[in-house]
Amino acid sequence: MPTGATVNLETFSDADFSEAFQWEIDGALFDFTGYNLLMNVRHHAEDVEAVVSLDSVPGGFGGITFNDPVGGHIETFNIFILRSQMIVMAAGEYVQSLILLRPDGLRDDIWHGTLTHSIGPTR
């Protein structure tokens, strides 16, 4: 698998974050069929506790869903961070990463980057 990309996200405490994504490798969309995703947001990478944890694992944290298959392949996913999760976050820059959970139990880095969180005026 290729080395993960850098993806920086921006959130606001007065609105839910909802964004659809695709992962492309060598010009082809990745098929997520049979895979799961895990995303954690922390103040610093070395922090033990995550501020926000999301996954697509049935019975897990939730917050990541796959879209309906196209031609039998799942090519897009959505990340949802609810306002109720962000309203308790202090404004500032956090670190985050998205990890592919493979059927064989191994993990691959899809992306890593920052999450810049701002306090929204209508909170």
Segment 44-73, tens digit of pLDDT? 999 999 999 999 999 999 999 999 888 889
**For the chain, domain boundaries:** 5-118
Model pTM score: 0.92
Q: What is the pLDDT of residue 70?
A: 84
Tell me the fold of 5-118.
Answer: Immunoglobulin-like (2.60.40)
Question: Is the pLDDT at 2 greater than 70, yes or no?
Answer: no
Contact 115, 81 (CB under 8 A): no
Question: Is the pLDDT at 77 greater than 90, yes or no?
Answer: yes
Distance (Å, whole) CA 119 – CA 117: 7
Q: What is the pLDDT of residue 88?
A: 87
